[in-house]
């Protein structure tokens, strides 16, 4: 054994490793980034602002006290007593709501007096947001349990009931599939554009094209058509698997086409902007990762925004992927047309701005 | 002959560095004109200004007459370009690549004819990524021909190629000369300039040092001929040759201006009974011209 040779080889590997910016990114910056992102998501778990809408049909001091105890852990919003619960929930796009049933106070008093009395409380949840539901369910059930213990020493005076907020039974995969479309369009557009631009620049292809009658705008339009085509192929395949394998009910409509096209333009524009400042093919990987990964985790692809601290939720609302994900869910799954219209408009405007900036900064020549 | 490119007082600065420093030169129609100089001399910058890729800091370039500057759209129809260190689309075949670039032009030339001219018939359906370096460069030259251009820019067309591959590219370029095309070539290989060029401009540190045909430059700035005698008694032979340079035990080297003087020197040596095993006679080349003019070598000893 030659220790010196082993040492020399080891040092050569270290040298080559740190000179490859992409490798360093994946080995160091990426896990650090993950820790920062997930740390930021979960460190403020106690301070999470999860909304619970409550309709107090009892309207008594006791019911108010119960709602206040829920408010210690959840952000309570009120549903007026005179509103039809289901219409209100549907019209206001509410994802978690509790009805405090009429007779709440009376039942509590009777049980306290030793009578065998109970009253059901129904928590309505959106089943596609299981990670948030877990928090709400835990708080509501925990509070009820505490009350039951205080009133009777354990007897279920307050009975927990749960129902789906939507008429249709959605599953987590219904929530997840539009997110998969969003991240696929994002990664293929950003990575594709950055890699193509840096590679073509390095190989001299852009210089060559600049000496031909083919113009920069013709080139950009052609590339956008290609990225849009690829985005639709991916979207089609994701929907196909979702429908055939997971039995997802998907609504195909104009919003879907506008959102996917806008997303392809927005993320390609972002890619053009980045590749303007990334000269080396080797750093393209890191640059693309730095832009895609935070969006992937912070834009509500894998879990709803509500599980994140407030400042991250605010940050998510400036990310294009958030509007793509939300718009696709509204259009394809929930068929919530007013919300779909808003999200589609936002991503359309973002796409126009990013694409124009990207196109203007993309240079073939000096 | 009419100049097809007129470059006047061309300067390109990057901060304090003058990559091109006041170049003035005409390139004539139908000639192969070579810019010869080491890496960083300013060859590519000058050519890329002519191609419209870079903007000059000052000075003018006119192509095909006074009315056209390099960025004119009409110019692009009439020029063909092989950029420096060019690599094409990896997953297109040779024929697909040529068709792709041809689609941009109003003018065109038969693709099969170009493939034949560049000796690429056997490779026309091969993917670009599978080709050797020499073949890739020939495809690069072929791409510059798809619009049947009047003027072709070839920026270091054989850099990095082995001698055999280099000769294949040279043959292809020579065949273009036969078709009356004007070719503006850059190179740091003196053999390439000598073999291909009708006229050579030697460039260093952004300035043209001299220009003329390779023969003219060698005659004007070279050291004539170098004669080397191997296997001789160097001490005795030295008294019969001009400015002898003994560089090993039995080898002697000397320079002469006129090759006809060799026979008289050899006669004198044999008259006194001296012998030698073999003799080499080498004519001065552009490398020596460059060395004599700049004190540097084309490989870049001290050159930027």
* A208 close to B (CB below 8 A): yes
Window 74-93 of A: residues touching B by CB (8 A cutoff) are none
C-alpha B85/C-alpha A198 separation (Å) is: 15
C-alpha B147/C-alpha B149 separation (Å) is: 5
CA-wise closest residue to A343 among A266, A291, A231, A235:
A266
> Over 90: is that where the pLDDT of A277 sits?
no
Our CA-based measurement puts residue B51 at a distance from the nearest CA of chain A, in whole angstroms, of 6
Three-state DSSP at A83 gives coil
* A281 close to B (CB below 8 A): no
pLDDT score, position B303: 34
Reported confidence tier of residue A30, pLDDT bands at 50, 70, 90: low
Interfacial residues of B (vs A; Cβ cutoff 8 Å)? 48, 51-55, 73, 76-77, 79, 81-89, 101, 104-106, 143, 147, 153
pLDDT tens string A95-146: 899 999 999 999 988 888 888 888 999 999 887 776 678 788 888 988 988 8
Which of A204, A210, A212 lies at the smallest CB-CB distance from B86?
A: A204
C-alpha B268/C-alpha A7 separation (Å) is: 65
pLDDT tens string A317-352: 899 999 999 999 889 987 878 889 999 999 999 999
pLDDT score, position A35: 63
State the ipTM, two decimals.
Answer: 0.84
pLDDT tens string B79-112: 999 999 899 998 889 999 999 999 889 989 999 9
* A204 close to B (CB below 8 A): yes
Neighbours of B239 (CB within 10 A): 11
Average confidence score pLDDT of chain A: 84
Alpha helices for B35-110 (secondary structure H): 43-51, 73-78, 94-102
C-alpha B30/C-alpha B177 separation (Å) is: 7
> Over 50: is that where the pLDDT of B281 sits?
yes
Contact B289, B221 (CB under 8 A): yes
- Do B51 and A204 count as a contact with CB atoms less than 8 A apart? no
CA-wise closest residue to A85 among A5, A139, A163, A7:
A163
**Main-chain dihedrals φ then ψ at residue A157, nearest 5 degrees:** -75, -50
Which pair of structure tokens corresponds to residue B120?
């690429």
* A338 close to B (CB below 8 A): no
Contact A250, A239 (CB under 8 A): yes
- Do A211 and B81 count as a contact with CB atoms less than 8 A apart? yes
C-alpha A49/C-alpha B49 separation (Å) is: 60
The 10 Å CB-count burial string (b at 16+, else e) for B142-158 is bbbbbbbbbbbbbbbbb
- Do B104 and A214 count as a contact with CB atoms less than 8 A apart? yes
Which pair of structure tokens corresponds to residue A330?
């509204």
Our CA-based measurement puts residue A170 at a distance from the nearest CA of chain B, in whole angstroms, of 44
Our CA-based measurement puts residue A202 at a distance from the nearest CA of chain B, in whole angstroms, of 8
> Over 60: is that where the pLDDT of B201 sits?
yes
Reported confidence tier of residue A42, pLDDT bands at 50, 70, 90: low
């Amino acid at each position: 054994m030659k220790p010196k040779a082993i040492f020399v080889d080891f040092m050569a590997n270290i040298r080559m490793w740190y000179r490859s910016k992409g490798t360093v990114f994946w080995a160091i910056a990426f896990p650090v980034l993950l820790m920062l992102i997930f740390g930021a998501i979960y460190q403020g778990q106690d301070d999470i602002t999860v909304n619970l809408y409550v309709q107090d049909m009892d309207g008594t001091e006791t019911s108010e006290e119960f709602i206040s105890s829920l408010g210690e852990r959840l952000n309570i919003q009120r549903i007026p007593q005179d509103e039809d619960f289901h219409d209100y929930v549907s019209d206001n796009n509410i994802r978690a709501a509790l009805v405090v049933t009429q007779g709440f106070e009376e039942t509590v008093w009777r049980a306290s007096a030793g009578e065998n009395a109970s009253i059901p409380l129904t928590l309505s949840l959106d089943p596609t947001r299981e990670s948030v539901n877990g928090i709400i369910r835990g708080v509501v059930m925990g509070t009820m349990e505490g009350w039951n213990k205080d009133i009777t020493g354990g007897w279920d005076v307050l009975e927990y009931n749960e129902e789906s907020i939507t008429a249709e039974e959605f599953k987590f995969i219904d929530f997840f599939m539009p997110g998969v479309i969003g991240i696929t369009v994002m990664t293929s557009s950003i990575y594709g554009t950055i890699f193509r631009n840096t590679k073509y620049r390095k190989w001299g292809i852009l210089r060559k094209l600049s000496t031909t009658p083919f113009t920069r705008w013709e080139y950009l339009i052609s590339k956008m058509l290609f990225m849009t085509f690829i985005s639709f192929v991916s979207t089609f395949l994701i929907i196909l698997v979702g429908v055939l394998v997971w039995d997802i009910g998907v609504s195909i409509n104009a919003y879907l086409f506008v959102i996917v096209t806008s997303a392809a333009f927005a993320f390609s524009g972002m890619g053009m902007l980045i590749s303007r400042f990334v000269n080396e093919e080797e750093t393209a990987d890191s640059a693309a990762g730095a832009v895609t990964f935070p969006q992937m985790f912070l834009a509500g692809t894998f879990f709803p925004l509500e599980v994140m601290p407030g400042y991250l939720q605010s940050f998510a609302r400036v990310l294009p992927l958030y509007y793509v994900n939300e718009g696709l869910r509204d259009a394809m799954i929930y068929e919530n047309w007013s919300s779909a219209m808003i999200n589609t408009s936002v991503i359309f405007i973002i796409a126009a701005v990013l694409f124009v900036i990207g196109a203007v900064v993309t240079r073939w020549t000096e | 002959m009419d100049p097809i490119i007129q470059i006047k007082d061309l300067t390109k600065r990057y901060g304090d560095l003058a990559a091109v420093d006041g170049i003035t030169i005409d390139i004539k129609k139908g000639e192969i004109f070579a810019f010869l100089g080491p890496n960083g001399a300013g060859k590519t910058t000058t050519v890329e200004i002519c191609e419209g890729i870079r903007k000059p800091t000052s000075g003018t370039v006119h192509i095909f007459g006074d009315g056209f500057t390099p960025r004119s759209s009409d110019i692009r129809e009439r020029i063909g370009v092989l950029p420096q260190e060019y690599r094409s689309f990896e997953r297109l075949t040779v024929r697909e690549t040529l068709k792709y670039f041809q689609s941009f032009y109003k003018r065109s030339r038969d693709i099969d004819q170009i493939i034949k001219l560049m000796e690429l018939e056997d490779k026309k359906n091969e993917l670009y990524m599978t080709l050797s370096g020499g073949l890739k460069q020939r495809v690069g030259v072929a791409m510059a021909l798809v619009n049947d251009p009047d003027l072709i820019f070839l920026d270091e067309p054989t850099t990095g190629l082995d001698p055999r591959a280099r000769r294949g590219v040279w043959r292809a370029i020579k065949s273009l000369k036969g078709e009356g095309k004007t070719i503006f070539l850059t190179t740091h290989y003196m053999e390439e300039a000598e073999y291909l060029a009708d006229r050579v401009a030697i460039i260093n540190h952004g300035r043209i040092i001299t220009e003329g045909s390779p023969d003219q430059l060698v005659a004007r700035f070279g050291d004539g001929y170098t004669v080397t005698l191997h296997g001789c008694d160097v001490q005795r032979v030295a008294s019969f040759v001009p400015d002898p340079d003994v560089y090993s035990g039995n080898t002697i080297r000397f320079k002469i201006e006129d090759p006809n003087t060799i026979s008289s020197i050899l006669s004198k040596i044999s008259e006194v009974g001296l012998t030698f095993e073999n003799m080499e006679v080498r004519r001065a080349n552009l490398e020596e011209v460059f060395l004599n003019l700049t004190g540097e070598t084309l490989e870049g000893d001290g050159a930027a």
